[in-house]
């Protein structure tokens, strides 16, 4: 996959994450920003 495609994918995921946070706030309560995370663990290698 090219760098351009990956950047496009990242942008689409960011947009999807915004929608996810809004829906979680609606379904579970709270504010969309309550569902923004900043993971520090780094698995997957």
Partner 1 sequence: MWYDYRFRAYPDRTGVAAEVERHIDIHRQAYNHTRYEYQILDTDEDNIGSAYQHQKRLSEWKTEWPVFSEVHSKALQKTVERFYENLSTLSEKKQKGHNVGWLKWKAPREYDREYTTPLRHRARRRIGYTHDRGEVIRFVLQLEYRVDDSWREVVRFDHDPQSDHAHDVTEEGVHMDVYRNGKKIRSEEVFPPMLAGEALTFAEEHLNQHAERYINRFETWHEIKNR
Judged by the rule CB under 8 A, the positions of this chain that interact with partner 1 are 1-2, 5-6, 8-10, 12-17, 19-21, 23-24, 27-29, 35-39, 41-44
DSSP states along the chain: --HHHHHHHHHHHHHHHHHHHHHHHHHH-S-GGGG----------
Instruction: Give the nearest distance from C-beta 18 to partner 1 in angstroms.
Output: 11
Instruction: Give the nearest distance from C-beta 6 to partner 1 in angstroms.
Output: 5
Instruction: Give the nearest distance from C-beta 35 to partner 1 in angstroms.
Output: 5
Structure tokens at 7: 């950047």
């Amino acid at each position: 996959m090219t760098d351009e495609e990956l950047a496009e994918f990242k942008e689409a995921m960011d947009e999807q994450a915004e929608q996810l946070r809004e829906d979680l706030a609606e379904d579970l309560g709270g504010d969309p920003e309550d569902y923004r995370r900043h993971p520090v663990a780094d698995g997957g290698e």
